[in-house]
Amino acid sequence: MDLNPLFEPRTMAVFGVSSSNYRHPANEIFIKNLLRYPVKVYGVNPRGGTVNGQPILRSVSEIPEPIDLAVIAVRSEFVPDLLSECIGMKVRAATVISGGFAESGRQDLQERIVAIAREASFPFVGPNCLGIYVPSHVDTLFLPAERMVKSAIGNVSFVSQSGGILVDHLIKFSEEGVGLAKAVSIGNKAILGELELLDYLARDPATRVIAFYIEGFGKNEGREFVLRAEKCGKPVIVLKSGKSPGGSRAVSSHTASLAGDYAGFSAALCQHGVVEAASELELVSFCESLSIYQKPIGGRVGIVTVSGGHGAMAVDACSALGIAVPELPEAVRDALRQSLSPSVREIATLSNPIDLTGSGIDDDFVATAEMLLAMEEIDCMLALLLPYIPGITSDLGAKLSSVAARHGKPLIAYVPHVDKYAMMIEGFELNGAPVSPSIEGAVLMVEALRRNRP
């Protein structure tokens, strides 16, 4: 099956638009693609009429050009005939937004649309989904545009069984500065599921990291997913629900999936080098880190801070994950002390974490970074910055990330995310160093590099 029409359609037909119900989901999809994206859009409803000043066609046969993508948002009982009509008119792919299939007990209705699509080798996403969002090209999410917060264009692709989880993570990615290549809500995944999308995204030049929210698999699909993920050549991150008996029941009622044996699946992910996220925080942190750095590390971290408390918390977080924070040799500490400014030299703690104290200045951070990143015993540097310390400037992010780029080692920073610190954060990000608003998140970014074992 050719999946390109799903993600790069030149023409699109939205079925279910209404001239009388302005808030109908199909209207939202139609209008925002008409106004915001480089895709030619047609609205279709047997009743005709107009929406947003555009005529509504009565059938797909009235559309004057071939259609790449059909967006189907009609009552479930109408979907089989509409799917057949689209296939007959050479439509190339579809997203079926409509619910009311296996998730609500209508397995027979879902099997009908599956049989229709398989006979014609016709790809569709859904049913019971939000569909597809590609920031540069198309948006089939039916949520009101004025209420949405979406990520900038980037290299992370996210596939989710849950539309709500997908949208939540678009917001979280935006807050964290994680750029998005593609987002797919697969719902009941009647035709296209994790396996097919993993294969597609593994070949997609716009995608560098592939993330999944998974509720469950069909028989033998979990094992096949892990084997394909291991071989795909890109970092694969998985957030799994249905880990508990109650969660398993919730999964079944949501998308009619079987949650399966979580312990076995989790062990297989680890064995085959797939990065498992235990929470939403981990998923976002892992995506941000691996979208920038993809070379695995051994997990030996050098930490620099201006606050002993921040350093202690970071060491605790590292220890909980098995990340090493090695003591610095005495010769390194002596050399580092001599490179610090006189006001800091006698009061700094140089054991690792390195605490430059509230008297630290930019030059002290740069000297420390040069020393740590040159050490064979250090794989990665963690900088815990408090921008309100009087001696450091907004340029420090750019200075430190330049040092890291020159040494070819990962640098990860903690900086509180508020507007007045934006220049420092941007300095890191412009030179390809990720920034977390929490110490835990910064340590998780290190953990992502340690777990990524392609």
Q: Residue 266 domain-assigned?
A: yes
Instruction: State mean pLDDT over 120-129.
Output: 97
Report the chain's C-alpha Rg in angstroms: 25
Higher per-residue confidence, 253 vs 405: 405
Q: Residue 296 domain-assigned?
A: no
Domain count for the chain: 3
SS (H, E, C) 109-171: HHHHHHHHHHHCCCCEECCCCCEEEECCCEECCCCCHHHCCCCCEEEEEEEECCHHHHHHHHH
The pTM assigned to this predicted structure is 0.92
pLDDT, position 257: 52
Residue 316 shares a structural domain with residue 276? no
The tens digit of pLDDT for each residue in 399-437 reads 999 999 999 999 999 999 888 899 999 999 989 999 999
Residue 256 shares a structural domain with residue 380? no
Residue 400 shares a structural domain with residue 323? yes
Residue 453 has pLDDT above 90, yes or no: no
Residue 13 shares a structural domain with residue 38? yes
Residue 85 shares a structural domain with residue 224? no
Residue 217 shares a structural domain with residue 335? no
Of the residues 234, 258, 291, the one at which a domain ends: 291
Q: How confident is the model at residue 442 (pLDDT cuts 50, 70, 90)?
A: very high
Q: Residue 318 domain-assigned?
A: yes
| CA distance to 35, 75, 170, 369, per residue, from 30 (Å) | 9, 17, 21, 52
Indicate which CATH number applies to the domain containing 70.
3.40.50.720
Residue 442 shares a structural domain with residue 306? yes
Residue 69 shares a structural domain with residue 170? no
Q: Residue 144 domain-assigned?
A: no
Higher per-residue confidence, 139 vs 245: 139
Residue 119 shares a structural domain with residue 31? yes
Residue 264 shares a structural domain with residue 323? no
Residue 349 shares a structural domain with residue 393? yes
Of the residues 97, 128, 159, the one at which a domain ends: 128
Instruction: State mean pLDDT over 227-240.
Output: 96
The token pair that represents 411 in the structure block: 């640098």
Indicate which CATH number applies to the domain containing 281.
3.40.50.261
The tens digit of pLDDT for each residue in 46-85 reads 999 999 899 999 999 999 999 999 999 999 999 999 999 9
Residue 267 shares a structural domain with residue 374? no
Higher per-residue confidence, 246 vs 320: 320
* Mean pLDDT lowest among 19-28, 72-81, 307-316: 19-28
The tens digit of pLDDT for each residue in 143-167 reads 887 888 888 899 999 999 999 999 9
Instruction: State mean pLDDT over 268-286.
Output: 94
Residue 101 has pLDDT above 80, yes or no: yes
pLDDT, position 243: 78
Q: How far apart, in whole angstroms, are the C-alpha atoms of residue 454 and residue 404?
A: 23
Q: Residue 422 domain-assigned?
A: yes
Q: Residue 141 domain-assigned?
A: no
Q: Residue 135 domain-assigned?
A: no
Q: Residue 178 domain-assigned?
A: yes
The tens digit of pLDDT for each residue in 165-176 reads 999 999 999 999
Q: How far apart, in whole angstroms, are the C-alpha atoms of residue 308 and residue 314?
A: 10
Domain holding 442, by residue range, is 301-451
